[in-house]
Amino acid sequence: MQVLHVASELHPFSKTGGLADMVAALGKALAHAGHEVQLVTPLYRGIRNRHPDIHPAKWRFDVPMGTSLVAGEFWRLKVTPQLTIWFVDQPEFFDRAGLYNENQIDYPDNGARFLFLSKAALLLARHLPRPPQIIHLHDWPTGPVPLLLQHARAEGVWPNPPKTVFTIHNLAYQGWFPPTDWALTNLPTEWFHPNTAEAWGQFNFLKAGLSLADALTTVSPRYAQEICTPEYGCGLEGLLRRREYELTGILNGVDYEEWRTTNNPALKHAYDADHLAGKNANKRDLQEELGLPVRADIPLFAQISRLTGQKGSDLVLEAWEEIFTAGLEQQFVLLGSGDPVLQNGFRDLAARYPESVAVRVGFDPGLAQRIEAAADFFLMPSRFEPCGLNQLYSLRYGTVPIVRATGGLDDSVVDVRENVERATGIKFHEPTAAALAQAIRKAFALYREPDLLAHFRHNGMTADFSWEKQAREYVELYEQALHGV
């Protein structure tokens, strides 16, 4: 099967979150299973320097954007005979310091930037010598693709176009743009209505994708159910309920070639489910690296995350106050960036408890690996979580996840109350600091029971969230989209 993915970020070239990991790993797994995979993504600043093996594809093109023509060029990386990455070069749009924003402020022309990406991807799809049968789209930046494609089909200019699959990685980010941006689509104004891309008078990119793609998916079965409710539907629950039968939840997998505790150049000490000495050594190293007292006898908690309300960062701050007040001895390491108020809150916590808390503000994939390998417990108190990847990485790294029972967290972590034999983590339900603090207290109890802790760790480390398995579900879905079964 020929599949073309379009995504606004792609590991290891560009990344702000799990989307980048997912698209890279799914593409790789599909190619590995023998499918012909093309990935289309922007050529952001710095990619060419860091990856000199990316070459011009000798393919320049012009895209109509309203009344102007905007020139672009494809660059290409042939990763394997089955897997090609196409980079869309348009320096005015993509040669910038950030992917979507700078200093927390979105670029004002994001509508134009990602419409350009969508149009370039369709141009590629139409003119490839072996055109794709499926175009797989990811999140709001690619929402215009099904819209543009349906219009081309309706006009008869693309009689038998590929089928489109649209994956929701996070419904909260919808790509809202002023209605004046519609002109950049070069589609007739009659096409701008509530059954396509219009929401409250605005041009909503995500809605365009969700209304017009042939099949919809999201990144966990539980989130697929949740987003059909007003609580989690972000205003699109009506549309999603109407399309409920075309919406499938498929849990993300892990690229175990990247996230591994043995033969991993990012980790100094290797370990596995039956040999945990290396994990203790990684803990000691991290304590040294971050200037914390080297202590094997107290639990090390960690969080690696965008600092936002979604991730429950505020709950973490409040819960630690309770834990400190109770005088429980522990260490906590945070790696993250985002909301400046939260950043300051964590910096302040570290300043007040320098013996217990280390905070690193920034985005550092190497440190993320070292933290996963060193920590005893990993906090994910998300208010909502489409899938979540860090809990999956934590499981493989023997780092017991403490999660709120929502979305993919609920689907991937087993609490002892659900199944004693298969328990892998600690779950709590209420999105409150008190509920999180109670879950953290359970972690202290678990830490005092080495045999039970070893049982949790062993279960987590041997659980299989490989992409090989998950990719088969996508292939089935592609088959259904193609053959209408």
CB of 168 to ligand ADP, least distance (A): 12
Asked if 18 touches ligand ADP (CB under 6 A), the answer is yes
365 binds ligand ADP (CB under 6 A): yes
Span of 150-158, 357-365, 397-405, 427-435 interacting with ligand ADP by CB under 6 A = 357-365
Does the protein bind ligand ADP through residue 364 (CB under 6 A)? yes
Among 141, 388, 401, 425, which residue interacts with ligand ADP (rule: CB under 6 A)?
Answer: 388
Give the pair of three-digit tokens for residue 460: 């987590």
Q: Rule CB under 6 A: is residue 21 a binding residue for ligand ADP?
A: yes
Edge-to-edge strand order for the sheet containing 134-138? 55-65, 68-80, 83-89, 36-42, 2-6, 134-138, 163-168, 215-218, 247-249
Instruction: Looking at residues 287 to 326 of the shown chain, list those that interact with ligand ADP (rule: CB under 6 A).
Output: 304-306
Classify strands 105-106 and 176-177 as parallel, antiparallel or unpaired. unpaired
**Residue 338 near ligand ADP by CB under 6 A:** no
Helix, coil or strand: residue 219: coil
How many Å apart are CA 259 and CA 373, to the nearest integer?
10
Nearest C-alpha neighbor of 175 from the set 143, 218, 213, 217:
143
When the beta carbons of 38 and 369 are compared against ligand ADP, the nearer one is 369
Provide, rounded to whole angstroms, the least separation between the CB of residue 19 and ligand ADP: 6
> What number of chain residues touch ligand ADP (CB under 6 A)?
18
| Helix, coil or strand: residue 162 | coil
User: Does residue number 402 form part of the binding site for ligand ADP (CB under 6 A)?
Assistant: no
Query: Locate tokens 């995504």: which residue?
Result: 7
287: Cα within 13 Å, side-chain hemisphere: 22
Name the pairing type of β-strands 357-361 and 331-338. parallel
Does residue 480 bind ligand ADP (CB under 6 A)?
no
DSSP string of 304-329? Answer: EEEESTTTTHHHHHHHHHHHHHTT--
**Beta strands 68-80 and 83-89, pairing class:** antiparallel
Q: Residue 401 interacts with ligand ADP (CB under 6 A)? A: no
- Output the CA–CA distances (angstroms, integers) from residue 62 to 90, 429, 469, in the order listed: 11, 52, 40
Of 292 and 387, CB closest to ligand ADP = 387
400 - beta bridge partners?
377
- C-beta nearest to ligand ADP: residue: 18
Shortest approach of ligand ADP to residue 394 CB, angstroms?
10
256 binds ligand ADP (CB under 6 A): no
- For ligand ADP, the binding residue among 61, 107, 324, 363 (CB under 6 A) is 363
Using the rule CB under 6 A, is 410 a contact of ligand ADP? Answer: no
| Residue 336 touches ligand ADP, criterion: CB under 6 A | yes
Minimum CB distance to ligand ADP, residue 387 (Å): 6
Any contact of residue 337 with ligand ADP (CB under 6 A)? yes
**Distance from first CA to last CA of the chain, Å, rounded?**
17
Shortest Å distance, C-beta 372 to ligand ADP = 8
Which of 1-9, 71-79, 359-367, 473-481 is the region at the interface with ligand ADP (rule: CB under 6 A)? Answer: 359-367
Interaction site with ligand ADP (CB under 6 A): 17-19, 21, 304-306, 335-337, 363-365, 368, 387-390
